[in-house]
Amino acid sequence: MKTTTKLPRLAIIEDEPLFANMLCDSLERTEQFTLTGWYQDGTTAIEDILQNPPDAIIADVMLTGEMTGLEVGTTLRDQLPELGIVILSGTLDIALIESLDPNYWYGWSFLDKRSVRDIDSIICAVNAVIEGNVAIDKFILPSSISTAYTDRSNKNRVTSNTPLTKRQQEIISLVAQGYTNAAIAERLFISERTVEHHLSTIYTILGVYATDTTKHPRVEAVLNWLKTTTLVQASTTPNHAASNNEESIC
């Protein structure tokens, strides 16, 4: 008898029809999710989602109506604590993430809309939040940490106070983006055992105790790592500004 694998259920909250249709079509083609609905405003989304909860939602920050995507997410999380939440923004920065109560970080993802062009980034983020992990877009992570996986046009340069080695910083950067150990090993051409060894050391350096069952070590490590890193706003040349505008999806 053939068994059917239950696909994760996913709802989309986006008020721009063209962008929403593109996102829905791209996700449906992956055949990795079951789309439960598309909503243009937060109030309608909350009413329907509470009646028929998905495993995760993808919500734009700016929505039609009085509620933002972030407010929709926090409202739903209060009543659906296991719900994974992916927030999209065309002007994503670290301040948006820092505005969220740290207790809400588990199962949240923050993606720049430019990343929607890379459907694998969306898949990675959705899977991460369903597992209770965090996923932060590479466009706003410290650019000097992992130059191989960070957009060089990022207007933020970084001064790092972290004691992590270059390899450890590469690994925690990928953890922050929602990558699993297997995916990290594949990207860095190392074994999963090596990734696990580095993560164990990273946890120790960042004061994370994997034996504490009340906390998620991967999320705690990302939070502590970001706290040790100071983003410095660099001057943006007209060419860089034009480049960023061309890449943005609004």
pLDDT value at residue 75: 94
What are residue 230's DSSP bridge partners?
159
Of 246 and 210, the one with more pLDDT:
210
Residue 173's region, left for phi above 0, alpha for psi from -120 to 50, else beta, is alpha
pLDDT value at residue 237: 32
Q: How many CB atoms lie within 10 A of CB 176?
A: 27
- In this prediction the pTM is 0.75
At 3, which amino acid appears?
Answer: T
Q: What is the pLDDT of residues 172-193, one digit of tens each?
A: 999 988 899 999 999 999 999 9
Pairwise CA distance, residues 190 & 39, whole Å:
42
Q: What is the pLDDT of residues 3-45, one digit of tens each?
A: 556 899 999 999 999 989 989 999 999 999 999 999 999 999 9
pLDDT value at residue 212: 61
77-86, 94-103, 138-147, 232-241 — which is least confidently predicted?
232-241
CATH entry, 6-137, from 3.40.920.10, 3.40.50.2300, 3.40.30.10, 3.40.50.300: 3.40.50.2300
What are residue 84's DSSP bridge partners?
56
Mean per-residue pLDDT, 83-109: 79
Pairwise CA distance, residues 11 & 245, whole Å:
28
Mean per-residue pLDDT, 129-143: 83
Half-sphere exposure of 34 (CA within 13 A, CB side): 10
Mean pLDDT of the chain: 79
Pairwise CA distance, residues 28 & 14, whole Å:
16
Percentage of the chain surpassing pLDDT 70?
A: 74
Q: What is the pLDDT of residues 189-220, one digit of tens each?
A: 999 999 999 999 999 999 888 666 656 888 88
Burial of 150 (0-12, 13-18, 19+ CB in 10 A): buried
Per-residue pLDDT for 238 more than 70? Answer: no
- Secondary structure letter of residue 159 according to DSSP: E
Q: Which residues contact 225 (CB under 8 A, 6 or more apart)?
A: 162, 164, 172, 176, 202, 206
Mean per-residue pLDDT, 48-57: 96
With residue 28 as reference, give the H or E element that holds it.
helix 17-30
pLDDT value at residue 142: 67
SS3 at position 206: coil
Domain ranges of the chain: 6-137, 140-250
pLDDT value at residue 105: 75
CATH entry, 140-250, from 1.10.10.10, 1.20.1740.10, 1.25.60.10, 3.30.420.40: 1.10.10.10
